[in-house]
């Protein structure tokens, strides 16, 4: 069931939740709001089978997708992202216009980035 555009939480996804990737099925019935870019405040790292983003003073704009999701979907996404296991933390993220007014949230990687390869603006590879 697709959510009404006015209800739900706006999330920015940049990795395995994007269209065409392993966990996108979790977003299949949610409202797609389009492609988006963050403000240049983040760094995207290759952590294995998925990426992780962190906020940093030497950040760039990360490319991803924006969705409006139901509370039920948000709980499923938190579980998939390992929030309870302290792998990721969901919190606000700064997006560029026109999505900057949506109050989006994203999952930030909480592990060490020492020795991890930077992905550039998009995972996998460059846009």
| CATH number for the domain that contains residue 68 | 3.10.490.10
Evaluate whether 48 touches 123 at the Cβ level (below 8 Å). no
What is the value of pTM for the model shown?
A: 0.91
Q: Decide: residue 46, CB within 10 A, 0-12 exposed, 13-18 middle, 19+ buried.
A: middle
**13 in a structural domain:** yes
**Active-site residue, from 55, 84, 89, 118:** 84
* Predicted pLDDT at 125: 62
**44 in a structural domain:** yes
The yes-or-no answer on residue 4 being catalytic is no
Task: Reply yes or no on whether the pLDDT at 55 is more than 80.
Answer: yes
Q: What is the mean pLDDT of residues 41-56?
A: 94
Closest CA to 93 of 62, 49, 72: 62
39 lies in which domain range? 9-118
**126 in a structural domain:** no
Between residues 7 and 76, the one the model is more confident about = 76
Rounded Cα–Cα distance for residues 41 and 24 (Å): 25
Rounded Cα–Cα distance for residues 109 and 65 (Å): 17
Evaluate whether 93 touches 43 at the Cβ level (below 8 Å). no
**74 in a structural domain:** yes
Q: What domain count does the chain have? A: 1
pLDDT category of residue 6 using cuts at 50, 70 and 90 = low
pLDDT category of residue 126 using cuts at 50, 70 and 90 = very low
**49 in a structural domain:** yes
Between residues 45 and 6, the one the model is more confident about = 45
**125 in a structural domain:** no
| Sequence-ordered strand ranges (E) for 1-127 | 9-13, 31-37, 42-46, 51-55, 63-69, 88-92, 105-109, 117-118
Task: Reply yes or no on whether the pLDDT at 3 is more than 60.
Answer: no
**99 in a structural domain:** yes
**98 in a structural domain:** yes
Task: Reply yes or no on whether the pLDDT at 4 is more than 60.
Answer: no
């Amino acid at each position: 069931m697709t959510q009404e555009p006015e209800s739900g939480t706006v999330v920015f996804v940049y990795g395995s939740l994007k269209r065409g990737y392993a966990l996108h099925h979790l977003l299949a019935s949610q409202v797609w709001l389009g492609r988006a870019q963050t403000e240049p405040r983040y760094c995207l790292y290759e952590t294995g089978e998925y990426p992780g983003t962190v906020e940093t003073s030497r950040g760039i704009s990360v490319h991803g997708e924006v969705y409006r999701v139901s509370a039920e979907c948000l709980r499923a996404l938190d579980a998939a992202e390992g929030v309870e296991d302290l792998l990721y933390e969901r919190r606000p993220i700064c997006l560029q216009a026109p999505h900057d007014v949506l109050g989006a949230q994203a999952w930030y990687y909480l592990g060490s980035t020492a020795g991890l390869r930077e992905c550039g603006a998009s995972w996998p590879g460059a846009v």
